[in-house]
Amino acid sequence: MSPLHDITFHSMGSDIRLIIENPLLPGLDSPEVAAQQERSYIEDFAARLSRFRPDSELCALNADPAHEAPASLLLRTAVAAGVWAAERSYGLVDPTLLGEIEAVGYESSQDGHEPASLHEALTSAPPASPARPRTSARWREIEIDHERATVRRPPGLRIDTGGTGKGLAADAVAHRLRGYTRFVVDCGGDIAVGGIGHALDPIAVEVEHPLTGECVHVLRLAAGGVATSGLNVRIWRARDGSFAHHLLDPSSGEPVWSGLIGATALAPSALEAETLSKMALLTGPAGARRALARHGGVVVHNDGDVELIGPVGPGGARAQHLLGSAA
């Protein structure tokens, strides 16, 4: 059997890729067996937390009229991750915007749908304006009780774990693979990397331009997470002919047009990287520079210009090469 196993499959509305090298300790499963086990884990994770499946645990929670509802450990962890991301992003990555995302046209899965043209959307986009947190901050009303195995929230408050689900899944699988020489868990662009092998030889992660698809930068990652948020993957024409996408300004409930069309973030975990990438894109150029300053990242402006921020900038330890901006 090969010491390295590499599989790609479709789940969570995205392509999932697992790369696993030989185990460090005796008694661990082969990379092939481990990959199949983690595939099953991700597919179960997706089924139980999907807002598009009426039989999912998330839908059952949102349909429960009681103030306190029973919740499995997985569901409690996913809800807690959404609340953590809201706290980390000062309310910008808000898990309580389910009604708003449905209202702008994201009522069913976009999986398999051809996205609308980002080029066309930008020509009719409103003037750039950064997102702001919602004054009511209803995510603060969510309480997770692990002793009682419940989630408490005001009746009628629905929760969407989609904004943090892929990062959480990538981190969970990475934790399960910590006994292997090296591994990469890519959940639709939310990536967790680890293993002593990558500490010695960091993996190259390409950053793709959302308008052209070309590689505009290569990040070198030894451990931790990297995630990208962009307007190009889930963008559609609304019922009135305007363009909409899945990243909302919490203060208005409408798709944000912040002056950025893509943001990639590095962080100690995939969940934090996912949160920071969304935070950067939501807040626009100035906010992105603050959000990505510590761990580093890459943003793409509306005009196609590429900007490197923090440790990935020219001369930074993680900088590999910059192929240039693209209009």
Chain Cα centroid distance, residue 57 = 20
> Which tokens sit at 44?
């179960």
**Closest by alpha carbon to 299, among 251, 269, 262?**
262
pTM: 0.93
In whole angstroms, what is the distance from residue 63 CA to residue 56 CA? 11
Strand partners, 184: 19, 193
d(CA 107, CA 212): 28
Contact 271, 87 (CB under 8 A): no
Pair of tokens at residue 143: 């309480």
DSSP letter assigned to residue 30: P
Q: Cα–Cα distance between 132 and 226 in angstroms, integer?
A: 24
pLDDT at position 44: 98
Question: Which pLDDT does position 324 carry in this prediction?
Answer: 30
Token pair, residue 317, equals 């330890």
Distance CA 48, CA 61 (A): 11
What does the DSSP 8-state code read for residue 129?
A: -
d(CA 201, CA 195): 10
Domains of the chain: 4-322 (3.10.520.10)
**pLDDT, tens digit only, all 327 positions of the chain:** 457 899 999 999 999 999 999 999 889 999 999 999 999 999 999 999 999 999 999 999 999 999 999 999 999 999 999 999 999 999 999 999 999 999 999 887 777 678 899 999 999 999 999 999 999 999 999 999 999 999 999 999 999 999 999 999 999 999 999 999 999 999 999 999 999 999 889 999 999 999 999 999 999 999 999 999 999 988 999 878 889 999 999 999 999 999 999 999 999 999 999 999 999 999 999 999 999 999 999 999 999 999 999 988 655 544 433 333 332
